[in-house]
Structure 1
């Protein structure tokens, strides 16, 4: 009996995602009893842990920075599909959904994930090192994409309100795709060495010092299970969102809190992967995950929304209000000061986490 239990436990990364998918299918489109919602949340947590495991297997096989790119793009593609689905079902009340989701993703990745990774790394290693060139380029791309897509709509005059005209939305979508494609080319081909982990003295660290990489077959199986796990994460998060909405309403909180909670759930795989990398003194990998996710969230979501707006009815509000614009500007400034030296201490982690806490607090009390 104990042998059977150990065998089942050893294969949890296989059966937990499958159970999470079954829970998703069984509960899709249904109102959930709180007890059932709690069970789905448990499967959601298991799928998150499984996603991190399979992402690390794939990353070990392909090496950095491709491993970080796999997880960031996979999460974002499924997140984009979720946004488009919710906008199609939500009508006029979902006018700000894309903006709120993308902005929450930017704040969570650039402050929450980076701050937590820096905290983990500096508590364990005192000082962490990374490539200022690669990380600075990533931050500059995130800042440009966020400004073009989320700030400019507030100040354009062709269309009333914080929204783009069709021509402006097309320009933002094309520019987002070009910038994201250019960055991925720099990250994986032309300047790949800028995104590899470095030692405290700045020497690049290669993956050879770790255990032998998994076989191609094992990596492909993990890639498939990673996609299954991420579908389960996003789908189960959507399934429990009505329960979360009811709880938020009962507590008298703004509905924007629901978007923050869902974004936190969806980004948990990347958060856990970034923290694990920081514990191994691979801060560059953590930064690749965080900034890559922020970049993919904007660079893939805005073009998808631009295409979906052809058949979606109702307004599409993209422009941030004054409070969120200030938070975004401060995030870019603080991120730049963190990146420039190529080294960070506990102080930088505290600053980023304070900004993240401010974002969450203002979502609760705007």
Structure 2
């Protein structure tokens, strides 16, 4: 006797994003007690897991590198919307919000997700194998974007402090959009094979990853909608949880800027889990696409959005990194280059990147 198939509307991966959005609508703008904060945290975790599931459905349908691009861009667009909204409503106290959020996202992705992917990729075999050409070009683009948008404002002289003049901000925004657009075309059209998983012999593997039963068009569209709903809920609920996070940060004696690091960690959870799942399936290239693609999208989309929003934003816009942050960024790019050049990495390189992430988090908590 055939077992009746369960309706897609009754699956937890469908219910969780809907419940998360309803929870967001109910709790937005409220001061929550201990029990509601715990409930929101549970709903947030469910929304993260649902987002990962639907991202993998979409990725399975469209193949690589489109799959990782969908998740990276979706998360970043929603994150940018949140940053702009907070800056518009927060006034001068949010002058460095864009810088802190973008830098945290770069360090978390380029060291945390990157290192975790390499570590998980070396569990099944001695080395994690990836395409050095594609990954190297991604890291070079991330380094250039970060330098143009976050390092140069510290050294320019048109404005006092780590700020761009309007003309400089406009140039950085246009350059960021051009670089990001060219990279996307390179990744998806001109040199797509540079971003596909490779085997031990360096041969490009089938981007379907050996999985059977590709999702149908309607099923993929359904998952894409639910992915966007889940990501909106994740970012929104992270903001709802921020007062509790702020209280915990203050109780620990950490600087207020550390709240941005915690929220960035929450917002990037879907990409982290998706990258970890890909690495466990021996598809390290997919994980690295997610890591560096997210870092690139975070800069390449945030800076133009902030430049546009600066037309009506009041107060200064602080983009320049401080010396400690610049040192961490330089080390990340240099060490990342040494890791990528051979096209394979060991657990040592993975641990180096994870230690760099730990250094960033520690110094953010204890500057």
TM-score range, shorter chain: over 0.9
Match of 1:84 in 2: 84
- Between the aligned partners of 1:9 and 1:255, the Cα distance in structure 2 is 41
For 1:355 and 1:10, the matched residues in 2 are separated by: 43
Matched residue count: 363
- Residue pair 2:130, 2:284 contacting (<8 A) in 1 also: yes
Alignment partners' CA distance in 2, 1:119 and 1:89: 41
Q: Distance in 1 between matches of 2:273 and 2:167?
A: 39
State the alpha-carbon separation in 1 of the partners of residues 105 and 138 from structure 2.
Answer: 15
Structure 1 length-normalised TM? 0.97
SS of aligned partner of 1:148: helix
Q: Which residue of 2 aligns with 1:178?
A: 178
Gaps of 5+ in 1: none
Within 5 Å, which residues of 2 pair with 1:123-142? 123-142=123-142
**Pairing 1:44–2:31 present:** no
Local SS of the residue matching 1:142 = helix
How well do the aligned residues superpose, as a CA RMSD in angstroms?
A: 1.4
Aligned twin of 2:104: 104
1:189 aligns with 2:189: yes
- Give the corresponding residue for 2:236: 235
Q: Which has the higher helix share?
A: 1
- Greater shift after overlay, 83-92 or 7-16? 7-16
Residue 212 of structure 1: how far off its partner (Å)? 2.1
Q: CA deviation at 1:7?
A: 7.7
Distance 1:124 1:85 in 2: 44
Superposition misfits of 4+ residues, deviation over 2 angstroms: 6-10
Cα distance in 2, alignment partners of residues 312 and 213 from structure 1: 46
Aligned counterpart, 1:303: 304
Q: Deviations over 1:96-134 (max 9, x none)?
A: 000000000000000000111111111222211111110
| CA offsets 1:154-191 (integer angstroms, 9 cap, x no match) | 00000100000000000000000000000000000000
- CA distance in 1 between counterparts of 2:189 and 2:7 reads 41
Q: Distance in 1 between matches of 2:68 and 2:207?
A: 13
- The equivalent residue for 2:222 is 221
Equivalent in the alignment of 1:55: 55
| Aligned CA distance change for structure 1 residues 190 and 250 (closer, same or farther; 3 Å) | same
Number of the residue aligned with 1:205: 205
Structure 2: tracts of 5 or more residues without a match: none
Q: 1:219, CA displacement in angstroms?
A: 0.3
Give the match's secondary structure for 2:144.
helix
Residue 18 (structure 2) pairs with residue 33 (structure 1): no
Q: CA deviation at 1:9?
A: 11
Which string of whole-angstrom CA distances, capped at 9 and with x for unpartnered residues, describes residues 264-322 of structure 1? 00000000000000001101000000000000000000000000000011100000000
Match of 1:168 in 2: 168
The answer to whether the 8 A contact 2:107-2:357 is kept is yes
Please give the alpha-carbon distance, in whole angstroms, between the structure 1 residues aligned to 2:303 and 2:77.
Answer: 12
Q: Tell me, what secondary structure is at the counterpart of 1:30? A: coil
In the alignment, the residues of structure 2 paired with residue 34 and residue 234 of structure 1 have an alpha-carbon distance, to the nearest angstrom, of 20
| Matches of 2:36 and 2:10, distance apart in 1 | 26
Counterpart residue number, 2:251: 250
Offset of 1:10 from its aligned partner?
A: 6.7
Q: Give the equivalent residue in structure 2 for 1:73.
A: 73
CA distance in 2, matches of 1:125, 1:211: 24
C-alpha deviation, 1:38, in angstroms: 1.1
Q: Secondary structure at the match of 1:123?
A: coil
Aligned to 1:288: 289
1:93 and 2:126 matched: no
TM-superposed CA distance for 1:253, in Å, is 1.0
